[in-house]
Structure 1
């Protein structure tokens, strides 16, 4: 299955049957109507955040720190809602988008925990510091997310134009960041809300 086909199949679950048919049968024609840039920057940031999940997993693996961190997760969602209000975008949609980012990060963490448990020789030998190495990067991405959500507000939604743009952006991100299957799956989950509101 090609990357474009995989994205089309996954995104069809959040759109109508007509939209799904359009994505799979008329991608080249629709892509021409998508504005320059489209959702590329937004999806790229999502890929960056997913890759940071590797460091989060490395920091937690072999410790008592759980993958689930409800307190930290709520802090992220509260911050996203507050930033959305300041930016003049829908805080409910924004929180749903950030919730998808968090869940996708946990998909990666669980996948890596499973891999490292089965193949201990692949487990990380260094433990990143979450407070100084990871969270500043996550905070940077959070602020950039808000900017991209605001900039793409007119494009986002359950429309063929959004879906096509998301397919194109997802394919670019998979190639640019050289994502493996685990990270591809996480990225698709992370950006599902973009065209679902």
Structure 2
């Protein structure tokens, strides 16, 4: 596999991509805490479209495929909602576990998500020649995912979300 001119292919780029996905998955807790018990739904199509549009723009600027990037980000969003739904179920069944504080989405959570979005595009560009349907990609992704599971101490809900979020990395 040959790297594009000016790019170095390393499996470390996938590790960074998976780590960013884990960070984003963990931020779903704050998003859920901000919304739980309010009239704000988990689904936010307008915000989701903003994120997808931003990702496509950043991808085009970075010289990577905007459609692939949008699919990657769509998976991130869906897995974030997966975690939020899981937390809602838990907190509804066990109200004593519900968060006592409600983070502010606009000032506390979204700036962190936006930072991750920009970093994602950089890592997608750095891993462009590694990503795709190949044994090398699959093995690298598994190794990176297992390391993230350990480093971030993900429970089952968040592990499932992480694997769903990074699945597009080695897809066709």
TM-score (norm 2): 0.94
Q: Quote the Cα distance in structure 2 between the aligned partners of 1:44 and 1:182.
A: 16
The equivalent residue for 1:105 is: 80
Q: Quote the Cα distance in structure 1 between the aligned partners of 2:151 and 2:144.
A: 10
Q: CA deviation at 1:73?
A: 0.1
CA RMSD in angstroms comes to: 1.0
Q: Which runs of no fewer than 5 residues in structure 1 stay unpaired?
A: 1-33
CA contact (8 A) 1:97 1:194 kept: yes
Cα pair distance change 1:75/1:182, threshold 3 Å? same
Q: Quote the Cα distance in structure 2 between the aligned partners of 1:166 and 1:36.
A: 8
The equivalent residue for 1:25 is: none
Give runs of aligned pairs for residues 30-109 of structure 1, distance below 5 A: 35=10, 37-109=12-84
Q: Quote the Cα distance in structure 2 between the aligned partners of 1:155 and 1:108.
A: 28
CA contact (8 A) 1:38 1:165 kept: no
The equivalent residue for 1:176 is: 151
TM-score (norm 1): 0.82
Q: Which runs of no fewer than 5 residues in structure 2 stay unpaired?
A: 1-8
The equivalent residue for 1:119 is: 94
CA contact (8 A) 2:11 2:130 kept: no
CA contact (8 A) 1:38 1:169 kept: no
1:187 is the counterpart of 2:162: yes
Q: CA deviation at 1:37?
A: 1.6
1:155 is the counterpart of 2:127: no
The equivalent residue for 1:18 is: none
Number of corresponding residues: 164
CA contact (8 A) 1:100 1:190 kept: yes
The equivalent residue for 1:134 is: 109
Task: Say which SS state the counterpart of residue 12 (structure 2) adopts.
Answer: coil
Write the deviation string for residues 31-80 of structure 1: whole angstroms up to 9, x where unpaired: xxx94525100000000000000000000000000000000000000000
Write the deviation string for residues 74-126 of structure 1: whole angstroms up to 9, x where unpaired: 00000000000000000000000000000000000000000000000000000
Q: Quote the Cα distance in structure 2 between the aligned partners of 1:105 and 1:35.
A: 27
Q: Quote the Cα distance in structure 1 between the aligned partners of 2:167 and 2:50.
A: 22
